[in-house]
Amino acid sequence: QMWEEAIALGKELAEQYENEMFDYEQLSELLRKQAQFYENIVKVIRPKPDYFAVGYYGQGFPTFIRNKVFIYRGKEYERREDFEARLLTQFPNAEKMKTTSPPGEDIKTSSGQYIQCFTVKPKLDLPSKFHRPVSEQIVSFYRVNEVQRFEYSRPVRKGEKNPDNEFANMWIERTIYVTAYKLPGILRWFEVKSVFMVEISPLENAIETMQLTNDKINNMVQQHLNDPNLPINPLSMLLNGIVDPAVMGGFTNYEKAFFTEKYMHEHPEDHDKIEKLKDLIAWQIPFLAEGIRIHGEKVTEALRPFHERMEACFRQLKDKVEKQYGVRAILSSLDERRGGRPRSMVRSFTMPSSSRPLSVASVSSLSSDSTPSRPGSDGFVLEPLLPKKMHSRSQDKLDKDDLDKDKKEKKKEKRNSKHQEIFDKEFKSTDISLQQAEAVILSETISPLRPQRPKSQVLNAMSSERRFSVSPAPPSSQLSPPPITPRTKLAFSIQPNLELNGMSSSDIPDVPPPLPLKGSTADYGNLLESQDLSSPTTSPPAQQR
C-alpha cells in the first residue's frame, strides 16, 4: 500500500515508454494504474504501524547487535506486547528490562542477555514539495513512512510537588534517535547511529499538547467533510473529552499554572510563550464549533440528549474563552480544506462578458484563438472575456456539427437520387403514369433572383412552344391550371387526364423535344421575351369533345 513509491517508479517507466520505447499501449496501462494509485491515496485509509526501539545489552549477544540500539517497524495493528513476544522467541535466554532509561556499564559488560524494548514516535519530515497546507490524508503517509528521526518522551518532575496542579512542575525528557537509513527500507529495522536528549519545560509541553489537540480536531473535521459516511463515535468521544473534561480539567490547569501573576513575575522570559498558549486556546473554539456542527447533522435520535448536553457545555466554554482570549474565525481555511475552487478563480470565470465594451483588438484576438492580429494586441488582458471565448469555441463546435450533418444529408440525397434514376430507367415504359413528380427542373439559381411569373404566361409558354411532359390518360378531362408551389425551382407539371387546345394526350408525342440552346444574354427564365405578350391573360378554354 505504499502507492507514493509506486507512483515515483511509474513516472520513470512512463518516461521510457513515451520517449524511448514509444510503447503507447504500455504507457496507457501504466497511466491508468497511476490514476488508481492517486485515488487510493485520497480515499483508502491505511493502517499506521508502530515503531519500537530495541536495545541488546550484554556480552551474550552476537557482535553485530551487542550493546546496540535498533529501530523496528512493527506489523499492521501489532501491539508492543505481541512484538516483544515475537522478539523473545529468537532469544529465549534473554531477560527483559523493566526501565526505559539507558543501562549502566555493569549490564553492558555482563555475560548475560538483556533486551530493552519501548515504543517510539516517528518524527514527521515532509518533502520539500509540500510548501503549502495539504490534505491530512496525503500527509498521513509521511507520518509513518520515509522517517529517520524517532523520539521517546519521559515525564520528569522537578521542584516541589503541587498536589493541586501537576502540570506546573512536569518536565519532559525527550530522547531523539536517528537511524542510519530511512524506514521502511530494504529492511524493517535499522541501527541507531546517533542519540541526543532535550528537556521540554512545562510551558512548552502545554503548548505542544494544545497544538496536537487542535490538529487532531481539525483532522477529524476534515475527514468527516471529505467522507460523510464515516462513523460518528470517534468524533463524539473526542469532542466530549474536550468540552466536558470531567477528569483532566482541560486547559483550566494551564490557566492555574501559567496565567498567574506569580509565574509571570518568576519567569518574565516566558511572556511570548504564554501569549502563544492563549492564542492556541482561542483557536480551539472555532475547531470545536465546526466539529459540533457536523456532529449535530449526523447524530441519531438515541444520542440526541448527549449532543444537547455537549452543546450546552460548549456554549459556556465559548463564552468564557472569547471573553478572555478573543474571537477567532476559520471559515476561509475550512473552505480551502473542503477542496473548493479559490474565490479569485470563481470570480474570473463568472464575470459577465458585457461588463465593459469589447475593443477591436480583443474581439480579433478572441476570434483567432488568442493569437494577436496586430503587433500591439498581445498585451490586452483577456480574463474578463473568458466566458465569451468559451462560448465561441462551443459555437464553432456546433457549426462543425451542423456542417457534418449537412454533408451526411447531401450524401444520402445523392444516394437516393441514384436509386431513383435506376428505378426510372427500368419502369419508365410501364409505370410512368404512377409518377407525380416534377417533370422538368430548369435551374436552382434562377428563380430566387426573379419574381414568380403569372399563371397565364406559364400556360401560354407551354402551349406555344409545346415543351412539356405528359402522361398517358383517358381523353375525358378538363383543363386545369398548373399547381403553384412555393418551391424556388422553376418546374412544369401537367396533371394526368389533361387536354390542351383541342389536343388530347394521344396526339402528343411521348418523348418531349430537346430544350433550346441557352443564349448568351438570356436564360430559360425569359423565354417569353421573344414571344407575343399580347395574348389574353385568361386561360384558354378547353375544347369539348
CATH number for position 229: 1.20.58.740
Which residues in the chain come in under a pLDDT of 50? 332-394, 397, 427-439, 443-448, 466-479, 485-486, 488-502, 504-506, 522, 526-541
At 381 the pLDDT is 41
Same domain membership, residue 179 and residue 261: no
Answer whether residue 527 is part of any domain.
no
pLDDT at 336: 45
Task: Give tens-digit pLDDT for 73-124.
Answer: 999 899 999 999 999 999 999 999 999 988 999 999 999 999 999 999 999 9
Closest CA to 61 of 87, 27, 26: 87
- Pair type for strands 189-200 and 170-183: antiparallel
pLDDT attached to residue 367: 39
Helix, strand, coil percent content, the chain, rounded in steps of 5: 50, 10, 40
Q: At what angle do helices 360-367 and 386-427 cross, to 10 degrees?
A: 50
Alpha helices in 259-355 (DSSP H): 261-266, 271-298, 304-325, 331-337, 343-350
In sequence order, which ranges of 59-150 are alpha helices (DSSP H)? 80-88, 105-108, 136-144
Which of 271, 303, 325 lies at the terminal end of a domain, its last residue?
325
In a domain, 232, yes or no: yes
- Structure confidence at residue 350 (pLDDT): 34
CA distances from 495 to 443, 468, 478, 480 (A): 22, 11, 10, 8
Residue 150, domain extent: 51-200
Three-state DSSP state, 134: coil
Among 167, 200, 233, residue at a domain's last position: 200
Calculate the alpha carbon distances from 110 to 98, 118, 210, 212, 407 in Å.
17, 22, 44, 42, 96
Residues 31 and 99 in one domain: no
Domain assignment present for 462: no
In this structure, the answer to whether residues 115 and 249 fall within a common structural domain is no
Q: What angle do CA 195, 199, 204 make, to 5 degrees?
A: 130
Q: CA-to-CA distance for 176 and 198, rounded, in angstroms? A: 8
Q: Which helix (H) or strand (E) holds 227?
A: none
517 within some domain:
no
279 φ, ψ (degrees, to nearest 5)? -65, -40
Cell numbers describing residue 170: 512536569
Does residue 57 sit in the same domain as residue 147? Answer: yes
Q: Which residue's entry shows cell 470517534? A: 234
Nearest to 470 by CA among 503, 508, 423, 444: 508
- Does one domain contain both 226 and 166? no
Both 8 and 101 in one domain: the answer is: no
| pTM across the whole model | 0.57
Distance of CA 151 to the CA centre of its chain: 39
Domain end marker among 148, 172, 200:
200
In a domain? residue 158: yes
Residues 151 and 182 grouped into a single domain:
yes
Give first-to-last CA distance, the chain, whole Å.
103
Same domain, 275 and 245: yes
Residues 70 and 89 reside in one and the same domain: yes
Q: Is 535 part of a structural domain of the chain?
A: no
Contacts of 523 (CB under 8 A, 6+ apart): 443, 446
Indicate the number of domains in the chain.
Answer: 3
In a domain, 196, yes or no: yes
Cis peptide before 513 (omega within 30 of 0): no
Q: With contact defined as beta carbons under 8 Å apart, do 260 and 168 qualify?
A: no
Q: What does the radius of gyration of the chain's CA atoms come to, in whole angstroms?
A: 47
- Is 187 found in the same domain as 108? yes
| Total count of residues recorded for the chain | 545
Residues 306, 310: Cα–Cα separation, whole Å: 6
> In sequence order, what DSSP letters do the residues of 368-413 get, joined into one string?
TTS--SSTTGGG---GGGHHHHHHHHHHHHHHHHHHHHHHHHHHHH
- For residue 490, is it within any domain? no
Same domain, 178 and 87: yes
Same domain, 35 and 81: no
